Amino acid sequence: MTDAVKYTLKTDPQGMVGRECPNRACKAYFKIKSEDLNVEELICPICGQKKYNNKYTTLQQIDYINSIIFKKDVCSLGPDKYTKTTPVIDYVETPAKCVFTCDTCGKKFGIDEKPDYCPFCEATYEHLHAEDKCDIAGK
């Protein structure tokens, strides 16, 4: 049995990694601290959908990881061949407009719109506090 290979996702200047809601009707984009990538489940801060953390991986992150593994779009490596060379597809994590801290669990997350839930413990908006001046539109 072999150990699973883990690939490091990029972070923004605040050390956060993007997540995207897997609910097709929502697709909310938010950020979590890179050290929180090991949590088992996340809750979408907009629609409240709860899924395994890996279901929140963005398409850009998947393309980036695949380009590391398969060197896609450059050569014809199949899924049984791997490379450790520089990725072909890259992406940049930009900071969220606002960083919120949850009173209930103490975790931080970033988002560009007013959240309804904490992505870690499902606490509602009343328990979420913006760290700095936050210019986001209310719902």
pLDDT digits over 72-114, tens only? 545 544 455 555 555 567 788 888 999 999 999 999 999 999 9
- Residue 27 main-chain phi, psi, to 5 deg: 60, 25
Q: Which residues have CB under 8 Å from 51's CB, separation 6+?
A: 22, 41, 42
Q: Where are the domains of the chain?
A: 16-130
- Predicted confidence (pLDDT) at residue 66 exceeds the cutoff of 70: yes
Task: Look at residue 2 and tell me whether its pLDDT is greater than 80.
Answer: no
Does the structure show a pLDDT above 50 at 68?
A: yes
Tell me the chain's radius of gyration from C-alpha atoms: 17
